[in-house]
Structure 1
Amino acid sequence: MKRIVVSGYYGAKNAGDEAMLAAMLEVLADLDPELHITVITADPADTERRHGVHAVGSFDMGGILGALRRADLLISGGGSLLQNVTSRRSLYYYMGIILLALLLGKKVMLYAQGIGPVTGRFACHCMRWLGNRVSLITVRDEGSMAELRRLGITRPPMECTADPVLGIHPVGREAGRAILSSCGADGAKPVVGISVRDWQGWQHYKEILAEISDAVVRELGARVIFLPMQYPEDVKTAKTVAAWTQEECTVLADEYSTSELLSLVANMDLMIGVRLHALIFAGVMGVPMIGISYDPKVDRFLRSIGEKPVNDLQDITTASVLKEVRRKWAARHEFTAANADLLTQMRGLAARNAELAMGLVRKKL
């Protein structure tokens, strides 16, 4: 039996990261149903229940060491693990797991990573040293490939693929429709989703999003649904925005599974997203999207599908977002058809990550 250990930001109730893990496990299981996978996670019980895999705690060093000793491969990823913008400590944690695997003589793959930004001489030196000693690197966008080159990482095979979530199977609309019905948000009106997150305590963009929500209701006759991707933090942020609205809107206040969130997105006619994976979910389900950037990873994803953010959180204005809303709304039916071929290609690139990982496990690379 082949064994893989997966290290990432799992068990923290972040829907995007849980979707990445679900997509990764889905494709790996398709390639080898007998594969044994252990996930390093903040909440082992939740990860085991949610994903049906063995799990060890993020700081259970005995469990991590034991799992790595038995492993054929450490997968680090997906996600934006190797950066020190949102957290300086987490970069060293994930590099520490990689270092431990290397010291044990194990193969390491950086899997569909969003690399950087990495700042500071010492952090860049550590990244360069470790990055040049792993077995294989795949990144989810060209911006991450450029960051690898900037850091001086050149030795391992490197390939630009796509975010693992783009390889997940689309789902039906029924589960999402039932959730909306239970919230009293069903009916014949079109639906516009908004995904928000808190960022550095800023308030201005939340007031702007409240104005946008009101305008969407008034101009489009649509129902506005706030979708939480990080529970419960995004619920709190969405409620802050909703408190400033004058028109009716709905805040989804529960925690949802990956398949439930995908199904909810499938019921939307347009997604306005700050969260990266809300935009990726829209891509998977063929829903037109408008991205508002807070991090280079949002810009990079949108660029990969021929889009660009309408604003970032600092310079967001009601007028600029509404202009894009009107443009996308008028062409929303054409969007799905135009993006179908591109998303098929992206799904193939997302699956390529798992194929390369299994190549390492089977010693073909």
Structure 2
Amino acid sequence: MSEIVISGYYGFGNAGDEAMLTAMIEALTDVNPAVRITVISGCPADTRRRHGVASVFRLNYPEIIRILRKSDLLISGGGSLLQDVTSDRSLYYYLSIMMLAEKLGKPVMLYAQGIGPVRGAMAKGAMRHIGNMVDLITVRDEGSRTELKSLGVDVPPIHVTADPVLALHQVDKGIGRAILKKRDLEGNAPLIGISVREWKDWTYYKTTLAEAADRLVAECGARLVFLPMQWPDDMNIARRIADRMKQPAAVLEEEYTTSELLSLVGNLDMLIGIRLHALIFAAVMHVPLIGISYDPKIDRFLETVGDKPVGTLQNFTADALLAKVRALWPEIRHPSRERAARIGELRQKAFRNAELAMALIENRKRG
């Protein structure tokens, strides 16, 4: 039996990160059903309840050292853990967990990380020093490998794979259909989902999204629903955008599990997203998607599916968004075979992360 410790942004109610953990656990146990997983979490009780795995508090270093001592592998990931744009404190925290494992003689794997941006001189130095100490790195896109190379991380093997969430098993659409029925969101008119987030208290994108949403209802006859990926933050920003609208739009106000959100997305005819994992959920459930960029990770993901963002939070326009919706409209009834093929390839690459993790353990045991 193999023991794996996973370090990441878990236990904070972010649906994208919780979906990532779900996908990692699914993939690792698919490869080795006997694997035992312990997650370092901001809320161990919530992680145990959601995912059915052991969990310890992220600042309980004595307990973290105890579980690392008996582990066969530390996985750091996935997600955008190693960057200093949102916070340099979190960057140093995740690097400190990796350093602990290294000091205890345990192999360390960066699992499908989205690397950067790393801007501070001290942060770059820390990334270079600790990054070159780990045993294996997989990144979710080519841009992340380029970022690692620019930081001088070139000792461990680096594999370009895909975001772990792309390996999630598809779910029954009936779950989401029941949630939508309770909100009177059933009907023949196309249902478009919108996933938003707060970003630096900017106003422009909120006003522009409200204008575009009004036009989607008036000009395309669409029904609109805002889906919260991080609760309650996304719900609150969705309400503020909906309040700027003249046309009706529903805001889902509850906190949903990964399965419920996947099922909800599967019932959409199209998704417009700022949140990365909302876009990935749409890809998993084969729903046409449109991304608005606030971070290079959005651009990188869209590039992997043969697309690009409609603009950034600072420069996209209602006209451009409506034009993109109209261009994608035929895919509601006739999905793109080319995009489906790309997503199929990405799902295989996402599963490759787990295969490489288990191979690293086996190689260390044999060595």
- The structural deviation recorded for 1:331 is 3.8
- Residues 84 and 120 of structure 2 are in contact (CA less than 8 Å); yes or no, is this contact kept in structure 1? no
* Structure 2 CA distance for aligned equivalents of residues 198 and 92 of structure 1: 24
* Residue 73, structure 1, aligned to residue 83, structure 2: no
- Aligned equivalent of 1:49: 49
2:292 is paired with a residue whose SS is strand
Q: Report Cα offsets for 1:268-324 as digits up to 9, x if no partner.
A: 111000000000001001111110000000000001111100110011211111111
- Aligned equivalent of 1:92: 92
- Aligned equivalent of 1:281: 281
* Structure 1 CA distance for aligned equivalents of residues 209 and 296 of structure 2: 21
- Residues 88 and 123 of structure 2 are in contact (CA less than 8 Å); yes or no, is this contact kept in structure 1? no
* Residue 25, structure 1, aligned to residue 25, structure 2: yes
Runs of 4+ in 1 over 4 A off after TM superposition: none
The worse-fitting range, judged by mean Cα deviation, of 180-189 and 89-98 is: 180-189
Q: Report Cα offsets for 1:109-163 as digits up to 9, x if no partner.
A: 0000000000111111110011111000000000000001100111111100000
- The structural deviation recorded for 1:212 is 1.2
- Aligned equivalent of 2:327: 327
Matches within 5 A, 1:196-235: 196-235=196-235
- The structural deviation recorded for 1:336 is 4.1
- Residues 287 and 336 of structure 1 are in contact (CA less than 8 Å); yes or no, is this contact kept in structure 2? no
- Residues 111 and 138 of structure 2 are in contact (CA less than 8 Å); yes or no, is this contact kept in structure 1? yes
The letter for the 1-side match of 2:233 is E
- Aligned equivalent of 1:186: 186
Matches within 5 A, 1:1-365: 1-363=1-363
* Structure 2 CA distance for aligned equivalents of residues 58 and 285 of structure 1: 32
- The structural deviation recorded for 1:332 is 3.4
* Structure 1 CA distance for aligned equivalents of residues 297 and 334 of structure 2: 26
* Structure 2 CA distance for aligned equivalents of residues 341 and 172 of structure 1: 21
* Structure 1 CA distance for aligned equivalents of residues 248 and 173 of structure 2: 23
* Structure 1 CA distance for aligned equivalents of residues 124 and 16 of structure 2: 27
Q: State the Cα RMSD in Å.
A: 1.1
Q: Which runs of 5+ in 1 are unaligned?
A: none
* Structure 2 CA distance for aligned equivalents of residues 335 and 273 of structure 1: 19
The letter for the 1-side match of 2:342 is L
Identical pairs, percent: 56
Q: Which runs of 5+ in 2 are unaligned?
A: none
The letter for the 2-side match of 1:104 is L
* Structure 2 CA distance for aligned equivalents of residues 250 and 219 of structure 1: 18
User: How many equivalent residue pairs?
Assistant: 365
Q: Report Cα offsets for 1:174-220 as digits up to 9, x if no partner.
A: 00010011112122221000000000011111111111111111122
- Residues 4 and 72 of structure 1 are in contact (CA less than 8 Å); yes or no, is this contact kept in structure 2? yes
Alignment TM-score, normalising by the size of structure 1: 0.98
2:198 is paired with a residue whose SS is coil
The worse-fitting range, judged by mean Cα deviation, of 159-168 and 331-340 is: 331-340
* Structure 2 CA distance for aligned equivalents of residues 298 and 155 of structure 1: 27
Q: Report Cα offsets for 1:36-84 as digits up to 9, x if no partner.
A: 1000010100100000000001111121111111111000000000000
* Structure 2 CA distance for aligned equivalents of residues 331 and 71 of structure 1: 47
